[in-house]
Every structure is written in structure tokens, then in C-alpha cells.
Amino acid sequence: MTQPMSRNKDGFFIGLTCPGCGGNLEIQSDFFVLNCSHCGSNLRIKMPEIPPAYLIRSDKPTREIRFHLDRYLKRNSLPLSGPDLTLTPIYYPYWKIDAVLLKVRHETIERVSTDNYEFDNVKTYDQKMTDIRLTSYTASQSAGPPIDFIPPSIGVRSQYSKIVPYSSENLEEDFSSLPAVKSWVQTEHDLKGSISSIASVSQAQYGKNRTKLFHPTGVIIYFPYYIVRTNSRGTIGWFILDGVTGKVINQIDKEVDMDRLIGQRQGGFEFGKLSVEFHRCHNCGVDLPNRQSHIYICDNCGDLISLGNMNYKLKGVYRAGSENIDSQRMFPFWALKLDNNDALRLKNFYGGIYGSDILAIPAFRIPNFEAMYRLSKRISAACPRLDMMPLEKQGENFAEAALSIEEALTMAEVIAYREFTNRDNNAEYNAGNINPVEVSLFYAPFHKEHYFYVDSVLGAVTFEKNLA
């Protein structure tokens, strides 16, 4: 069960209000269903189609800013701020970017061999090694007008901060916000260019190194700064302080035209707006379970509810196997039925003797991308041997379908790119989008055996217990 988040817990948090009682809510960025601790309503977060904007509040009084500044001045043997101090609080916008990163790296390792343990007859040979790795990627970069004394990135702050939706009501008193002038289209273009140049930093000893970004998404985060002007005995100084910690991050070596700085108008693109609605069945209005799932079957009317912006019509929800599943752990998988061309291109991915045209992507979250890849390969190859039955009810033993179909399609593209790279690491290959002819969801029964989950239908598909 997802509860409102505490203020002191690590993570990227969004502060909202309940539509039922108006109480304050705190959610992590990847949570979309929660229960209001004030009125008990089940709620879900609806993400906009265009990037939303948030802000991080400073919560630093003027006296605390002066304290941090004077400590910096004293440590650097500079005159203290004195009584004539002018403090201007501003919000500066950044893009927070999240994506999946695939890295292909080649190297040649020298190996040593001996014949019949004759250590006087040592031979060496070169072995070519290819490392293909999937990782998550998070970064932040400036979205506002270029200002040389403002940092170009907020680093890990974009991942571990308490934020609220950007609005005039949420702006702190006396704060001015600078405009966001760099569009997401330009940001995405620059990001892909910088990522593609990473592989050339470390030249491969054979083949071609690659670094490729998949499915980048962005949100705007306004970060607080204090620009301070000091006048101590006729000596003028300019400084910029971090509005969250109060730390001096830069001593400005020139006069700052504050009227011109804060007088800039907002940029020409619109922000998306986060909304909160009641988590109820679209058909009968009954509350849905408080679970982080993109797929629900209403216990009252049996209607199928799918959340998210699905560009593909969901054919149905099924379960594998015909035996009693109450004692099994049911794990969800997106089943992407491929056309003949895509299935033929990926035939080596499946392996075995069974011809499969289903690319199965785990719909439950697995933090390790490589483990997700391996499980996808095993369950995809096994699909032709699984008997599917329509699912009528989800029990407590059903894992949450927390991965959206959009994310599943991204993983399908990553898998295709990985397979072709592994097959010929010198080839230039652009996988393009995988366009399934049909999309469905199925639950497969698994049971625990020692350190693994083993599928209960074939007894052939396994994955590590700590991944679920």
C-alpha cells in the first residue's frame, strides 16, 4: 500500500492536495496511486502529455542566508557582509531528464595459457571481449537564459528533492522566476548529441563502441537561488547562494543588473499540469484497489480498466495455465505480437525450437535492466507452449503491472537494438520502433525454489527471487 511520503525520506517527491478533503499529499515521482491519510480516499495521479513544471522551495530565512554568507567570507578572509546587504531571491529553471542508456564497449584482453602445467612454456593470446550493458540515466541541464554565474546543472538535487507543482500560488513571497527559454525538442537534440560522443572518448580496440539513449523524458524544475549584494566599508561584493542549503556556490566578479535579470518575460512554451483524481472504476464508480498497477479488473462489475495513454487497444488480459493459481505468485507480462518482419528479425533472440512471434516484456518493475532482458528472452521463447485463458479476477497473489505499455515498447526497442549489436558489433543498426500488431497482458504463475522463482507451467523459466 502506498502512503503519503514523509518529509525526511530520500527520493524525488511531489507535494499535492487531495481533491476530496484538500489535505496535503506527498508522492514519489514514479507513484501514481495512493491513499489520502486524511480522508481515506484512493487517488491516482494523472500525468500531462506535455512536460510539467515543478519548483523546489527554499525555506531559508534571510538571517540564515546572512549567516552562511558571513561564514564563507570569514573563511576566505573577506570583509563580513555588514548592515548594507541586498538579497534577491530567484527561481531558475532546469530540465530533469530520465532515460534508458545502452552502452556497448569493446576491449582486447591478453590471456595466458600453459601446456600440461609446464610453466616454462607460457603462451599468450588475445581475447576479444564485448560488454553490453543497460542502465538508467538521469541528468539535469539549464533551461533558462544563459547566465554565467548560475550553475548549468543541479546534479543529484533533481533526484532527491521535495518539489511542488509550479504555479503562482506556490511561488514563495519575494521570489521572482526566470523564464524557461530552452524547449524540450532542443534539449533532447542536444542530449542525444552529447551522449553519442561519449563512446568516442574511450576508443575500442576492435569493433565500434556505442552509447545510445532510449525514451528520454523531461520535466522542468525551478531551483531557488539567492543573489546577494554586500557593501562593507565601501567594498561591493556579489555572491550567489544555494537556496536549499544556503551554501555560497559562486562569487560573482561583476556588477549584476538585477532589474534586467528579473524583468525577463516567461518563455514561449506551455507547461503541463499534474492533476489528481479519484481512483475509481470508469464503469460502476467503485473504488479500485490501492495498488501501483496500470491494469485493473473491477471486483464489482468485472470491467477492465487500463491507465495511461495507450496508443494500442488492449486485446485482453489472460492467465497462463489451467491449474489452481491461488497458491502461486502471478507475475504480469506485456505480450507484444509482432508482424512477420519483426518476428523474423528477432528470431535469434528467442532461441530454442519453438517459433514465437510474441515479445514478452515483464510488466512488474525490475531495477536491473540486464535481469529484465534475460527474463524477457526466456518468457518470450516459452510463449508458444503456454495455454492462455481469459482472466476474470485479480487476487492478492497478483503482482502489480507497474510498467506502462509505453515503457514496455521502449524496452522492446532496446532489446532489438541489443540483439543486432550483439550479432554484428561493427554494423550500423537503427532498430526503429517495434510496432506490434496486437497488445495484451498475461499473468504467469511462479513459485519459489531456493533463491529463484520458477514458472509453474513449464518449470523452465526462472528469475532471481530478489528481483521481484
111 phi, psi to nearest 5 deg: -105, 155
Over the stretch 110-150, which tens digit does the pLDDT of each residue have? 777 655 555 566 677 777 777 777 777 888 999 998 898 99
Instruction: For the chain, give the mean pLDDT.
Output: 81
Task: At 255, list the grid cell.
Answer: 556588477
pLDDT of residue 409 exceeding 60, the answer is yes
Q: How confident is the model at residue 331 (pLDDT cuts 50, 70, 90)?
A: very high
Cell of 16: 499535492
**3-class SS letters over 124-191:** EEEEEEEEEEEEEEEEEEECCCCCCCCCCCCHHHHCCCEEEECCCCCCCCCCEECCCCCCHHHHHHHH
Percent of the chain with pLDDT over 90: 16
- For the record, the C-alpha cell of 222 comes out as 525551478
Of 243-247, 342-346, 362-366, give the lowest mean pLDDT range.
342-346
Q: How far apart are CA 31 and CA 53, in angstroms?
A: 17
446-450 average pLDDT score: 89
For residue 88, CA distances in Å to 166, 174, 232, 239, 262 come to 20, 8, 18, 11, 9
The secondary structure of residue 357, as a DSSP letter, is: -
68, 226 in Cβ contact below 8 A?
no
**Are 244 and 221 within 8 A, CB to CB?**
no
When pLDDT is averaged across residues 31-41 and rounded to a whole number, the result is: 83
Burial class, 218, CB count within 10 angstroms (exposed 0-12 / middle 13-18 / buried 19+): buried
Please say if the pLDDT value at position 79 is more than 80. Answer: yes
For residue 431, what pLDDT is reported?
53
pLDDT of residue 191: 85
Query: What's the confidence (pLDDT) of residue 6?
Result: 38
Of the ranges 3-7, 269-273, 283-287, 431-435, which one carries the lowest mean pLDDT score?
3-7
Residue 311 has pLDDT above 70, yes or no: no
Asked if residues 100 and 215 have their Cβ atoms less than 8 Å apart, the reply is yes
The H or E element that residue 348 is part of is helix 347-350
Q: Residue 312 and residue 4: Cα distance in Å, rounded?
A: 32
> Among 432, 441, 349, 435, which residue's Cα sits nearest to residue 391?
441
Buried b or exposed e, range 122-148, using 16+ CB within 10 angstroms = eeeeeeeeeebebeebebbbbbbbebe
Q: Residue 106 belongs to what H/E stretch?
A: strand 85-115
Residue of 89, 136, 138, 97 lying closest to 220 (CA atoms): 97
Distance between CA atoms of residues 138 and 119, nearest Å? 50
pTM listed for this prediction: 0.78
Per-residue DSSP letter, 339: P
Q: Rounded to whole angstroms, how far apart are CA atoms 226 and 247?
A: 10
pLDDT at residue 170, as a whole number: 80
Helix (H/G/I), strand (E/B), else coil: 114: strand
Residue that wins the pLDDT comparison between 361 and 351: 361
Element (H, E) at 381: helix 369-382
Domain assignments of the chain as residue spans, ordered by start = 62-262, 291-423+430-467
Q: Are strands 438-449 and 33-35 parallel, antiparallel or unpaired?
A: unpaired
pLDDT interval class at 105 (50, 70, 90): confident
